[in-house]
Structure 1
Amino acid sequence: MSASTIGYIKLANTLSIVSQKQVTGKLVVAHGNQEWQLYFLFGHLLYASGGKHSTRRWHRAISQHCPNFKFEVNQLSNHQLWEYKLLQTAISENQITLAQAKAILRTIAEEVFFAIISQPGLTRRWHPQKHPSSQTALSLLLSRLEIKEVLTSAKRVWTSLQEEGLWHINPDSTPVIRDTNKLLSSQENSDFLLTVNKLLNCDRTIWDIAFLMKMSLVEVAQNLYDCEQRSLIYFKQVEDWLSPPEKLRLVSVENRRPQATIACIDDSHLVGNFLEKILQPLGYKVVHIQDPIKGLAALEDSQPDLIFLDLVMPKVSGYTICDFLRKTTMFKDTPIVFLSSQDGIIDRTRAKLIGANDYLCKSSSAEKVVEVVAKYVNRQEAKTSQILTLERAYNFTCLAVEG
């Protein structure tokens, strides 16, 4: 008996017992360091979650069944069943229909069941819990028959993968192109390759690609496996996206941070205005000091996180100011970036020798200025950068896949 058959039988028997006893709570199914949570209300399935990519799975199901649904999480804390609570809110506000919500739940449950039955060994734990029993909640429940249908569908997909010799292909993995030119010049599976080439962005999983190409998981996995065998692509593991509640929490933490201050020491008011127009909309405070000698007190008061420093000024050179700042306790570690109209190798070398962190020409683009500020003003935690990744992630509703 295959591992998947054992996994299917174990899960099917457990679901049957829960249904017969009409219990309410959470069933935790685990394999290694992976866990899946199945929530029940009176023996009916309320929601399925867990695994490697619960948030990706949620976005994929939303995009499939109600692509125009724009959910808000302002009032939602990062607790269990946030996905389900968003669905309930959307139904009550007539953003989506009950049929759409149930389709989302079925799609998510099928992927969770697929992941569970594909594991060689499973542990199961039951946790009695209270769950909401409103009329909406009761209407969304998946019945014993619906659970059986979803489980059967998940097993059918897994069995097809096995029959095609693709049991080792993890749909949560991401295909990455080794050589674009080699891939596009390949004669085999040319139609598939021309289409999938537009989707291989090092972030989309096989599940994602199957959805976007409107192809079965088995068909996509077979084509990608052929590409792997010809060394056109390789597979890697990617992290899940941040959940909307976690994203909201990190944004809130970031917004509570003290505003970063950027100082500009330059006798020209045009340079100060230039930096203000670029940096103030991004949340930075810009302090412009036109007289470097009289303005030292203002510099001490503002305690900037970064100093842009002109090289040539009427009363004193930028080299002298930089050397002075590096010898003071308050500014010895403050990032200093020369912003000058001179861009010679000697100027750059001397600036580095007296302690400047970087050197920009005044003709530099706004993008370059922002890049330098981001480099030296560490205002974001590592996790916050994932928020930007999530924001840049593909939008299912806008992507057009050409054949």
Structure 2
Amino acid sequence: MKTRVESTCNSLSAKLLRYGQEKFTGRLDLKVSTAQQWSFYLSYGRLVWASGSVHPTRRWCRQILYHCPEVNPNRIALKKIEPESCWDYHLMVLLARKRMINPQQTVVVIKGTVAEILFDIFQSLTLVSREKTLIQPSNDSVSSNTIETTVKKPDNFLLNAQLGVRPSIQGILPQTWMLEVEPTIKQVQQVWQQWSEMGLEDVSPDLAPVLLQKSALQEQTSVATYKNLVTLINGKRTLRDIAALIKRDLLLLTRSLNPYIQKQLIELVEVPDLIAPNFEDLPAKAGISTQKAQTQKAQTQKAQTQKSQTQKSQKKSDQPLIVCIDDHPQTCKIMKDVIQSAGYRFLGIQDSIKALPLLLKHKPDLIFLDLVMPIVNGYEMCAQIRRVSMFANTPVIILTAKDGIVDRVRARIVGATDFLTKPIDNQKVVAKVRKYHTTSPSKTDPV
């Protein structure tokens, strides 16, 4: 059985390597007997992109939030694209061209996307081979630009090549940003081997853990571990989502949860994919002259501006409110710029005496709290906030230049949720907000 499994995965790897060596340009469509399908895009033998699997939108959001925290994927509205285009790669091209992400970020997102898909393929092929389920090549006719790979029985997959197909009509990213086939495959094979050796072959990282027996789980874990589990596991986040959220290796995370899964204290369930980005009609029809298109675009923008002004007051109240309590005006100014740029409302409070009445009035969704302030320090303020029932579960993040063990312990005692060290780092601020406030801002930015 093990030989059959290894043979199938190695056979696919060999075929992909062959396309790389032959400098293939186009799309490779892969199908296994579970009816799952994936696609790889190559340009002159290098991996450009990959698509497929059960959660394409979750995967996109994970990769962007992890590697490009300054970009909020939930605020992107995309113009309509061709049905055959990959919307996620299409977005990558646009974000890169607008310099909203840099080349290094683009490459790691491509690597992460391709790695997730290769992992899913190796897992699917392993399970299919283990069950000895075979698939026969289709007798359906193929187009003139289609090459159908001959499939032997042990392979359990079909691989079709579509010549010249690109993932986006917007073009393609530079060749130096693409991936070499062989090292990419070897790296994922190593990860899958470790996953398999840990006895996790049947565990899909796209499943979401759910707490079944909280009382029994609490008895078998430390206070800190139980608190972390209850915070992270809500039945809506997959194993991959959680690993990305806490920036922990997926294998280590799953291995740590596996004993509780085996004891049926935690159950793994399927969850749906997230909603894909909005797709809007182009403002000007194809074939319109440049001058006319520019005029129409200006008129459209003017109309949209007028409309947005009338709706601004209504939308503004729907956006999450982030508060920063800090006696330094410069800190509040920096935080205001960062928070508002990320699409959230902001309220800066410099007088600690007035802080609590203002919090009761505005009811914020998250609070940044400076540790060292005159009259009332951060510890005392945090304790006061926690005494108010409506703020019992509101995230309170301590801002401090001191980040010692004693400071953290004392902050936890008075109810602080997390720490953020000074000086202010824009990306870390946004990452903290998204970590503790899952509701997306209502504003959308067309790309």
Normalized against structure 1, the TM-score is what? Answer: 0.57
Query: Residue 46 of structure 2: which of 44, 47, 51 is its match?
Result: 44
* Structure 2: runs of 5 or more not aligned: 126-155, 282-312, 316-429, 437-447
Structure-1 separation of matches of 2:278 and 2:170? 23
Structure 2 counterpart of 1:97: 102
Distance 1:42-1:4 versus aligned 2 partners, 3 A rule: same
1:141 aligns with 2:182: no
CA contact (8 A) 2:119 2:192 kept: yes
Distance apart, 1:44 and its partner CA: 1.3
Cα distance in structure 1, aligned partners of 2:46 and 2:250: 28
2:210 to 159, 164, 176: 176
1:130 Cα deviation after fit: 3.4
Amino acid corresponding to residue 64 of structure 1 in structure 2 = Y
Counterpart in the other structure of 1:16: 17
Instruction: Write the distance in 1 (CA, Å) between the matches of 2:7 and 2:235.
Output: 34
Q: How does 1:321-360 map to 2 (within 5 A)?
A: none
Give, in whole Å, the separation in 1 of the partners of 2:275 and 2:3.
35
Aligned to 1:164: 198
Residues 87-145 of structure 1, C-alpha deviations (whole Å, 9 max, x = no match):
11111111110111011000111111111111233221112233369573434322x3x
Tell me what 2:261 maps to: 228
Contact 1:88 1:137 in 2 (8 A): no
Matches within 5 A, 1:251-330: none
When structure 1 is superposed on structure 2, of 185-194 and 8-17 the one drifting more is 185-194
Q: 1:211 aligns with which of 240, 244, 247?
A: 244
In the other structure, the counterpart of 1:88 is 93
Deviates more, 1:132-141 or 1:43-52: 132-141
Q: Tell me, what secondary structure is at the counterpart of 2:231?
A: coil
CA-based RMSD: 2.7
Higher relative contact order (CA 8 A, sep 6+): 2
Equivalent residue letter for 1:230: K
What residue number does 2:59 align with? 57
For 1:204, what is the secondary structure of its paired residue?
A: coil
Cα displacement string for residues 307-347 of structure 1 (whole angstroms, at most 9, x for unaligned residues): xxxxxxxxxxxxxxxxxxxxxxxxxxxxxxxxxxxxxxxxx
Task: Report if the CA contact (8 A) 1:7-1:119 is conserved.
Answer: no
Q: Which residue of 2 aligns with 1:107?
A: 112
Offset of residue 83 of structure 1: 1.1
The match for 1:33 is 35
> 1:52, 1:240 within 8 Å by CA — same for their partners in 2?
yes
Distance verdict in 2 for CA 1:118–1:4, change over 3 Å: farther
Contact 2:243 2:253 in 1 (8 A): yes
Counterpart for residue 75 of structure 1: 79
CA shift digits 1:154-204 (9 cap, x unpaired): 112211121111211111111111133332x23346644431321111111
Contact kept? 1:3, 1:118, Cα under 8 Å: no
Q: Which runs of 5+ in 1 are unaligned?
A: 250-279, 283-394
Q: Which letter maps to 2:77?
A: V
Partner residue in 2 for 1:151: 185
Counterpart contact for 2:41–2:49, Cα < 8 Å? yes
Query: 1: CA distance between counterparts of 2:163 and 2:208?
Result: 36
1:360 — aligned with what?
none
Q: Is the 8 A contact 2:26 2:42 kept in 1?
A: yes
Report the Cα distance in structure 1 between the residues aligned to 2:172 and 2:26, rounded to whole angstroms: 18
User: CA offsets per residue over residues 246-284 of structure 1, 9 Å max, x none?
Assistant: 6x69xxxxxxxxxxxxxxxxxxxxxxxxxxxxxx969xx
Q: Is the 8 A contact 1:212 1:396 kept in 2?
A: no
Alignment partner of 1:73: what SS?
Answer: strand
The share of aligned pairs that are identical, in percent, is: 24
Taking structure 1 as reference, are residues 2 and 158 closer, same or farther at Cα in structure 2, changes over 3 Å only?
Answer: farther
Contact 1:113 1:151 in 2 (8 A): yes
Amino acid at match of 1:87: M
Cα distance in 2 for partners of 1:197, 1:399 equals 18
CA contact (8 A) 2:65 2:72 kept: no
Do the aligned partners of residues 106 and 59 (structure 1) sit closer, same or farther apart at CA in structure 2, a change above 3 Å counting? same
